Each structure stands twice: as structure tokens, then as C-alpha cells.
Amino acid sequence: MRQELEEQDPLVGRVRLLLVTYLILQVIMHRQIQAVAVPGGWGLITAQRPLLPAGTAGRGLSMCLNMREALMSKIVRIADGQIVELFASMPVLHESLMAQVRSDAPEDVMQGWSFDGTDYAPPPPPPRPTERDYLAAVQAMLDAKAQERAYDGIVSACSYVGSGVAQYDREGVALKAWRDQVWNACYASLPQALAGVNGQPSPDEFVATMPSFTWPV
């Protein structure tokens, strides 16, 4: 019946939570607490005079808040101003390494963050790709494809067009046609990539949108 009542009225659950919170605060204040039966459950009766002087409750509450902050912190090891290790509990390390361990890092800290002696900070975002970055990535893709068949690069492979060796000629023709398709697609897509339309892609993401290549038989 009590469970059904809580499900129907969430306020009942909140009242129970407040009652528990009140109990904890009374313990912090070092008051005498007595549980007595009341209709429908249990009630609390506290002494009117705290056992310790005024101000104890404030110190107790401060202690609880400090404990909460400690539980929400992470243990890290810092070297040269960078977070190099994260720990779930206090580690046992060499004395020289223990001097680098701190237990006050924020809960969302990650390896690679920096620490200046006072504050923790995530690494800055990577720089936005430039036109040169995109063009270099496309050129590297073309060269890598040609190197699959032991050519020095795409230029070397294309120079075999008209070769007396039929295989080299076929591969040179195919690679040359593909190279033209890739650069046409690259320069057509480059303005949108640099403008960040739908988010600016990384060079690898940009290259992935280029025409694919299949080696001739």
C-alpha cells in the first residue's frame, strides 16, 4: 500500500528523502535522536540542546561538502604540466612519481589536459584545416594509389601512357583519367569544405569523398 502511494504521489518520496536528510544533519550537529512509532511509520524526536557548542553543525556540514568534492574528484599524475595518467584509487608508485600525483582533478578530466599549478584545462581544439592541408591530402592519396603497383607516385605512373609494355600502358591510362576526375572533384568541393558547410571536414574526411579507383585487369 505504501509503495502504491509513493508511485501515485512523488511528493511522498520527496518527504522521505527530506526526513533522511534531516536525520543526517542532526547527527552532524551531535544532537540526541530518538525514533518513535507514529501512525503510518516512524518519527524522530531530537533533544533541544546540542551536545557540542554552536558552530559545530557548520563545521560538520563543511566537512561533508569537502568529502563530496573529494569523491567527485579524480586522481591524476602530472608531468611537465600535462595529465599523463588517471587512477581510480590512490596508486602505489615510486616516491619520485608519487610527488606528481594529485587528487583534486575535476571529474571530467582526461589524459592530455594541462595543469598550471592552479587550474586544470582541456587541450585547445586543433587548428582548422587550410586549403594547403586538403590539397596535400589529395596528392598523398594519388601517390599512395600509384605506389600500390610500385610506381614512384602518380606522376611517374602517368608517364607510362604509351609505354611498349601493355600493362604499364593500361595502368598509366587508368591512373591518368582517375587523377583528372579527382582534381576536378577536389576543386569543386574545396570552397564548401573551407567554408565549413555542414561542419568543416578533416583532410581524411575530405579525401574520402573523392572518386575511387579500380585497377585495370
The answer on pLDDT for 37 being more than 50 is no
Q: Give the pLDDT band of residue 207 (cuts 50, 70, 90).
A: very high
| Overall average pLDDT of the 116-136 stretch | 94
Number of independent structural domains in the chain: 3
- Same domain? For 155 and 192 the reply is yes
Asked if residue 44 lies in contact with residue 33, where contact means CB atoms within 8 angstroms, the answer is yes
Q: Does residue 8 fall inside a structural domain?
A: yes
SS3 86: strand
The answer on pLDDT for 67 being more than 50 is no
Q: What is the DSSP string of 134-174?
A: HHHHHHHHHHHHHHTTT-SSHHHHHTTTT-SSHHHHHHHHH
For 52, residues 6+ apart whose C-beta sits below 8 A from its C-beta are 29, 30
Looking at residue 9, its pLDDT comes to 53
The number of C-alpha atoms within 13 Å of 173 and in the hemisphere containing its C-beta is 11
Q: Give the pLDDT band of residue 200 (cuts 50, 70, 90).
A: very high
Q: Comparing 70 with 75, which gets the higher pLDDT?
A: 75
- Same domain? For 156 and 183 the reply is yes
Block residue for cell numbers 564548401: 192
| Overall average pLDDT of the 40-65 stretch | 48
Looking at residue 139, its pLDDT comes to 98
Block residue for cell numbers 561542419: 199
Q: Comparing 105 with 41, which gets the higher pLDDT?
A: 105
Q: Does residue 138 fall inside a structural domain?
A: yes
The residues that bridge with 44 in the sheet, in sequence order, are: 35
Q: Does residue 172 fall inside a structural domain?
A: yes
- Same domain? For 24 and 62 the reply is yes
- Same domain? For 148 and 200 the reply is yes
- Same domain? For 26 and 13 the reply is yes
Looking at residue 142, its pLDDT comes to 98
Residue 153, domain extent:
131-208
